[in-house]
Amino acid sequence: MGKRRRGRTRWALIMFLVGAVAVLDARADERSDLRAALGKLPYGIVYESYRGSDWELFAMQADGSAGRNLTRSPSTDDLYPHASPDGKRICFVVDEGKGKARSRNVYLLGADGTGRKLLARNARQPCWGPDGRRVAYLPGEFDRFTTTDYATRGLVIHDLATGRSRRHVNDKLHHLYNPCWSPGGGWFTATVHGGMGHRHANLAFPAAGQGVFKIPHVGGCRPDLSPDGKRVSWNPSDHAIAVADVTLSPHGPAVTNVRKVVTCDKDHEVYHSDWSPDGKYLAFSYGPKGGEQVGAMAKGWHICVADASRTNVWIALTSDGQSNKEPDWFPVARGGLGR
């Protein structure tokens, strides 16, 4: 009797191990397939990277190849890059100056790394309008420099053609961070922290109106809208990136089909999700516990890409151990970055 039971236990253990090996093999195949698929995409990824003494903007192909330093500006910290819809320009923030003269400002840069131009002083976290002709950014709350991401008041829309800026009509916008302009141009999403009556929430508000709506079922931070505007990705915690179907309407946002795309253990963090131009992939940052805020050190963080339709099918594109964060996709097909 005892021998028979031991035999059954042994068989169960063997079957479990065989199953586990099969699952691991399948995962390895999925990752290999993902890398191959990324190699065929006409996209690149731009990101911020700490290079020993300062932050620079780097760009690489979607499979992690052909990485290069776009800014080469050792006297400033260049951060939070966002590529224009056509991939020909980047808006980003620059921390510059020392001591009491230090400031965070918004700049523009050409795809080839030339044409660096100041867009706004004491401003942060710019994003592109869908037409590629306007940039929205968040003015700093105080003159004094801070890396605190929600230290903002209002939202400004800058027209690149005319050079004119205008404040969003809702003058109550306060303590927003991580804004994202909807592909249709009618909405913004952002996270609020300790402002506008909210403790901490992800919000949607019209680009030209007074309403402000809490995005239901999307708790956490850093919402990012897919290129078709029908899905949203965000951080429900330090250790997960989720996506959901979203509808933005005058009645407010509606969210369904919430699912996790990336999860990690408690000793690591995932942040800064960004949809690929075809809406199939999410780029994100991953690494050991560190600073996810713009300009905060996060040694050992890597730029990664996940299949947005699966759970935990992802690969790391960088491997240099630097603080690599804030990835943003761009198209390279028509004279975009890196061409």
Partner 1 sequence: MTSTGWWPAACLLGLVALTVAPGLSCRKDGAGGGRDPLPIVRTSSGVEMVLLPGGFFEMGSAGGERDERPVHRVWIDALLMDRTEVTQDQFRRLQMPDPSHFKGPRRPVEHATFAEVVAFCNERSAAEGLGACYRLDEQRGTWSCDFDATGYRLPTEAEWEYACRASTTAERYFGPGGEPALRKHAWYAANASKATHPVGLKKPNGWGLYDLYGNVAEWCNDGYDPNYYRTSPARNPAGPPAARLVVLRGGAWNSKPDACRSAARAGEDPKFHDVCFTRDSVGFRCVRKPIKD
Site residues, partner 1 (CB under 8 A): 141-144, 146, 148-151, 175, 193-194, 198-200, 220-221, 235, 237-238, 289-293, 296-299
What is the nearest approach in angstroms of partner 1 to the Cβ of residue 241? 13
Residue with smaller CB distance to partner 1, 46 or 212: 212
The answer to whether 307 and 280 have CB atoms below 8 angstroms apart is yes
- Tokens read off for 317: 């594109």
**C-alpha pair distances (Å), 17 with each of 10, 25, 30, 38, 257:** 11, 12, 20, 32, 33
What is the nearest approach in angstroms of partner 1 to the Cβ of residue 234? 11
Total count of residues recorded for the chain = 339
Going by their DSSP bridges, the two strands 187-195 and 314-316 should be labelled as: unpaired
What is the nearest approach in angstroms of partner 1 to the Cβ of residue 21? 36
Residue with smaller CB distance to partner 1, 33 or 320: 320
Burial class (CB in 10 A: 0-12, 13-18, 19+), 90: buried
Which residues are registered as beta bridge partners of 206?
Answer: 187
Burial class (CB in 10 A: 0-12, 13-18, 19+), 130: middle
What is the nearest approach in angstroms of partner 1 to the Cβ of residue 288? 9
The answer to whether 76 and 323 have CB atoms below 8 angstroms apart is no
- Tokens read off for 331: 């198209």
- DSSP percent split of the chain into helix, strand, coil, nearest 5: 10, 45, 40
What is the nearest approach in angstroms of partner 1 to the Cβ of residue 204? 18
What is the nearest approach in angstroms of partner 1 to the Cβ of residue 180? 17
Residue with smaller CB distance to partner 1, 61 or 323: 323
What is the nearest approach in angstroms of partner 1 to the Cβ of residue 168? 19
**Side by side, which strands form the sheet with 134-139?**
123-128, 134-139, 156-159, 165-167
- Tokens read off for 66: 């052909």
Residue with smaller CB distance to partner 1, 115 or 288: 288
DSSP letter string, 39-51: HT-SEEEEEEEE-
What is the nearest approach in angstroms of partner 1 to the Cβ of residue 194? 4
Going by their DSSP bridges, the two strands 213-214 and 43-50 should be labelled as: unpaired
What is the nearest approach in angstroms of partner 1 to the Cβ of residue 323? 8
Residue with smaller CB distance to partner 1, 68 or 121: 121
Residue with smaller CB distance to partner 1, 290 or 336: 290
User: Which of 284, 326, 282, 339 is CA-nearest to residue 127?
Assistant: 326
Which residues are registered as beta bridge partners of 279?
Answer: none
Residue with smaller CB distance to partner 1, 299 or 334: 299
Residue with smaller CB distance to partner 1, 296 or 315: 296
